[in-house]
Structure 1
Amino acid sequence: MQIPKVLLTDQTDNAVLLLSNYYTKPQQGKSQLRSGARFDNWAGGGDAPGMVNTLTADDFLAASFLSVRFSPKAVIGILEQRRGEVTALLAQIPADLDLASVTHENFKSVLGEESPAWQLRDLLRGKDLPDNQSWGIGPTKASKLMARKRPRLVPIWDSVVRSETELKDSGTQWSDWHEVLTQNDCALSLHLDDIQRKAELPHPISPLRAMDVILWMRGTGGVQQSPTSEDETA
């Protein structure tokens, strides 16, 4: 995977402007900030003390600020019927660990196919449900819920990220981003921190969230998009 050009150091000023505009300026012709600007800190944030290992209705609401919709079946199934499983898995996923800080030796246990994070992603997607009972949650919606709970560790996936990174699908995204974020003594992660400092945001966000916002602004021109069929079900 190649680092998207907008995240390279010679594009720093552009990246700072894109990130700052997302959080501080309404879209053209609008009076309010983008709903996505509240994703990170809505109801105190998904990783707030006391809520860090509990998926809540506020987490679903915050994820919906990023142009996705959840069916009542999905919300009830996850928050009520599978609540204990979700909480148990979240308790095993570090909340204070950055993706760039995961060592190559520990990657498999933290984000590999047998890890609690992978198991939670499969649970949220209803991988163990019969087809006729599907919740309609694909990798996009699952990633936004997981990024809400573990913003430092789990990157968001959607059609814009796919286009900007030229990745074929979400299956290798965690390992792909880990690879580029840890290259050259974590140079990209440090660069994202620098971009955020220069953007002077109203509240701090994770490097992964800064990366996602910059890619989204670059890929959409800052114009809110209706969910694609890929983002709804893929």
Structure 2
Amino acid sequence: MAYAKEYLDPGNQYAYPAYDSYLGSGTAKVQDADLLAIALLNAGQNPLPTYYTFKSLLNPINERLADPRLHGTLAEASQETLEAIADLVGILDEERPTKHVGKTKLLKVLHRMRPDLIPLYDENIRRLYSETENPPVPRDLKRNHREFALAWLPAVQHDLNAHKEMLTEITRMALPETPITPLRALDIVAWKLGSEVKISR
């Protein structure tokens, strides 16, 4: 809770509110302007190849974003909605090349399109869900991106519901003009917890 309060204080100049208030295209489709938001969550490495790879993926991304199964919140999502999100992540399995674009950058773009439904992801999130003792999503190097999403999304959904009161309290810390969803609040907490996971192999 202390870290969330610190993170959501605009005076500290973390990724909030920069990422969350970035206007982007303001449409239901991912467009060029939306691709720049990833840099505001510190995922802007190799910006030019990242940008052009995303450009090549816009058509399949937007086709899948229009899937009617993508509705509501992740906390209440049905299995078919989870599968639709996994289909979005599965673009990384089907489209080539995806140079410099993996789950981290893809989900940073997609979360802004459906902030209550599509979760964020990065190395700290992976550590929290896959590198702790008795992890909810054990490492499996044979999984592709879609299969990982199908294993990971129910674990995120579980945490959203199990910690609903705390996450709601965190959302109240956000600026009224730049609100966040419980899913974004979960990312803030999970990122911090994941940063403290010690990996031993």
Whether these two folds match at TM > 0.5 is yes
What code does the residue aligned with 1:72 have?
Answer: L
Mapped to 1, the partners of 2:138 and 2:16 lie a distance apart of 25
TM-score normalised over the length of structure 1: 0.64
The question of 1:42 aligning with 2:16 is answered: no
Distance in 2 separating the partners of 1:164 and 1:180: 12
1:178 corresponds in structure 2 to: 157
Q: 1:67 and 1:204, CA in 2 relative to 1: closer, same or farther beyond 3 A?
A: same
Instruction: Structure 1: state its 5+ residue gaps.
Output: 1-14, 28-32, 222-234
- Give the letter for the 2:123 counterpart: S
Alignment root-mean-square deviation, CA: 2.8
Shift of 1:99: 0.6
Deviation at 1:42, TM superposition (A): 0.4
Structure-1 separation of matches of 2:126 and 2:62: 29
Give the counterpart letter for 2:152 in structure 1. Answer: Q
Q: Which runs of 5+ in 2 are unaligned?
A: 140-144, 197-201
CA distance in 1, matches of 2:33, 2:175: 22
Q: Letter of the aligned partner of 1:43 in structure 2?
A: L
Are residues 218 and 78 of structure 1, via their aligned partners in 2, closer, same or farther at CA, if it must alter by over 3 Å? closer
Q: TM-score, normalised by structure 2?
A: 0.73
CA–CA distance in structure 1, aligned partners of residues 19 and 165 of structure 2:
23
Structure 1 position 60, deviation (Å): 1.8
Aligned to 1:127: 94
Give the residue type in structure 2 aligned to 1:120: L
| CA offsets 1:130-155 (integer angstroms, 9 cap, x no match) | xxx44222222222222122211121
SS at match of 1:40: helix
1:38-60 per-position Cα deviation (integer Å, ceiling 9, x unaligned): 2122016x7x4xx12x1123322
Aligned residue pair count: 179
Match of 2:182 among 182, 185, 207: 207
Greater Cα radius of gyration, structure 1 or 2: 1
Amino-acid identity (%): 22
